[in-house]
Amino acid sequence: MDFLTLFCIYTLTVLASIVLVCKYAGGQEQTALGRTYSRVINVLSPYVPVWLSRLSNRAVHKLFHERNNLFIYLHLLLEGAVYTEYSYEVFGYCREVGTTLTSLYVPYALLAVHLCLFYLCCSRDPGTVTNTKHASQVKVYPYDGELFNPGELCPTCNLVKPARSKHCRVCNRCVQRFDHHCVWVNNCVGAQNTRYFLLYLLSVCAMAGHIAVLTLDLLLNVVARTGLMYAHYVDSAGQQQPTGFSFVVQHLFLTFPRIVFMLGFLIFVFFLLAGYFLFHLLLAVGNHTSNEWYKARGRGCRHCHPHSGHHCGRPSSFNPLRGFYSRGIFKNLAEIFMPLKPQLRKKKHK
């Protein structure tokens, strides 16, 4: 298999991963990629056979609008592939170039922590609003009068919505302090499991970052020891040409195809999820949820709410560090790790 074929397969796989992660990691309705994808589908739909369109719609509905474990299995498959390659090739090569055993065993320790957090994200109740808990859940947060108003009824659950709650169409339940539904853990992220979700994202970033650094160090050692940057090669015309960056990358790809592929995937995952983690951390610092962030973006200024006659047409000036529910940075973060309970709430927001 030549370099061009390998590179095309690599590029298509990474692009497919980008689409899957960006479109479905945090709710497709909240991403620009999701909206672009929908527009492209609308343009192409007249040219797609009716039977194929119906089949694809049923498949998409089954995968992304009903609870299923497909993405959990895909998640575990990708991690298993990365750790198999790391254990099978990278570990041994790193030992040859002098990497310490401590550094090489760190990814396994991170994996153990990560799997525990992943299990908690998948299995813990996010804060389902139920008949038995409803009276107390309504008292946890006051209504802000803008995004959340008293007396709003969930037509599906037939319960008055507590402030900051939302009905999840995938799980078919109202969730207290709803953030989003994550298909990768097949669960909602809400009041009772946001802490696990944040630590889960951090653990993925730590694993991907550490293995990527070890792999990059290995490849740089290979380049330095073989003197590739200062070597020459004979081109198709029989002339000697100095090697450059593109030649070195091609040589490494052909010599270590699985390792280079894994490195590219890990770098992509690290930067994507690091940005996603920082976004959620910034929301947590200001005591916001991504659902509230998304709803606030589509509204006018803070004086433009349905019960007001003021409509200036200006976009909302959403401040991630301040808001109705913010109690200060440290208390906001404490609320993530120790969710509020009605009996502990003595003071009302002013």
Could you tell me which of 79, 85, 76 has the C-alpha nearest to residue 258?
A: 85
Residue 344, pLDDT score: 45
Alpha-carbon distance 71 to 68, whole Å?
8
Question: Which residue ranges of the chain lie beneath pLDDT 70?
Answer: 1-8, 10-11, 13-42, 44-45, 47-65, 231-239, 241, 244, 298-321, 342-350
Residue 29, pLDDT score: 47
Give DSSP secondary structure letters for 172-218. Answer: TEEETT--EEETTTTEEE-TTTHHHHHHHHHHHHHHHHHHHHHHHHH
Could you tell me which of 281, 106, 120 has the C-alpha nearest to residue 185?
A: 120
Could you tell me which of 210, 212, 221, 226 has the C-alpha nearest to residue 259?
A: 212
Beta pairing class for 159-160 and 153-154: antiparallel
**CA 265 and chain centroid, separation:** 15
Residue 308, pLDDT score: 46
Residue 81, pLDDT score: 92
Active site residues: 182
Residue 309, pLDDT score: 47
What does the block give as tokens for 43? 């343009």
Alpha-carbon distance 297 to 316, whole Å?
6
> Residue 286 in contact with residue 321, Cβ under 8 Å?
yes
> Residue 189 in contact with residue 126, Cβ under 8 Å?
yes
- CB-CB neighbours of 347 under 10 Å: 6
Residue 340, pLDDT score: 87
* DSSP secondary structure letter of residue 24: H
Could you tell me which of 34, 33, 25 has the C-alpha nearest to residue 189?
A: 25
Residue 350, pLDDT score: 46
Q: For tokens 């927001």, name the residue.
A: 349
Alpha-carbon distance 293 to 29, whole Å?
13
Residue 14, pLDDT score: 63
Alpha-carbon distance 196 to 120, whole Å?
7
One-letter amino acid identity for 268? F
